[in-house]
Structure 1
Amino acid sequence: MPDFGLEITPRPDLPAIVARWQREITAPELQAGYFAILAAADALGCWRWLLDLRRRDELATPELTVWMNTEFFPKLPGRYPVPVRIAFLISPLRAQQQQSVSSVAALSATARPGQGYLTALFTEEAAAYQWLGQ
Structure 2
Amino acid sequence: MNPPLPIQFAYRPDLDLFTARWLTFHTHSTERSEYEAVLRAPEALGTPHWLFDVRRRPTTNADAARWVTTDWLPRAAALVRPAHLRLAFLVAPVRAENLRADDELRAVMEAAYAATDAFALRTFTDEGAAVAWLLGQLA
TM category (shorter chain) comes to 0.7 to 0.9
Distance in 1 separating the partners of 2:30 and 2:77? 24
Amino acid corresponding to residue 113 of structure 1 in structure 2? T
In the other structure, the counterpart of 1:121 is 123
What number of residue pairs does the alignment pair up?
132
Structure 2: segments with no counterpart, 5+ residues: none
For residues 99-125 of structure 1, give each alpha carbon's deviation from its aligned partner in whole angstroms, at most 9, with x where no partner exists.
2228588436622322x1110111110
Where does the alignment leave 5 or more consecutive residues of structure 1 unmatched? none
The CA deviation at 1:18 is 0.8
Runs of 4+ in 1 over 6 A off after TM superposition: none
Scaled by the length of structure 2, the TM-score of the pair is 0.75
**Residue 38 (structure 1) aligns with:** 39
Partner of 2:65: 65
- CA distance in 2 between counterparts of 1:40 and 1:118 reads 20
Distance 1:85 1:28 in 2: 21
Displacement of 1:81 in angstroms is 2.2
Q: CA RMSD in A?
A: 2.9
Residue 93 of structure 1: how far off its partner (Å): 3.8
The answer to whether the 8 Å contact 2:62/2:108 transfers is no
The TM-score, its normalising length taken from structure 1, stands at 0.77
Deviations 1:4-51 (A, max 9, x none): 321111111111111111112355972122122222257642111110
Q: Percent identity?
A: 33
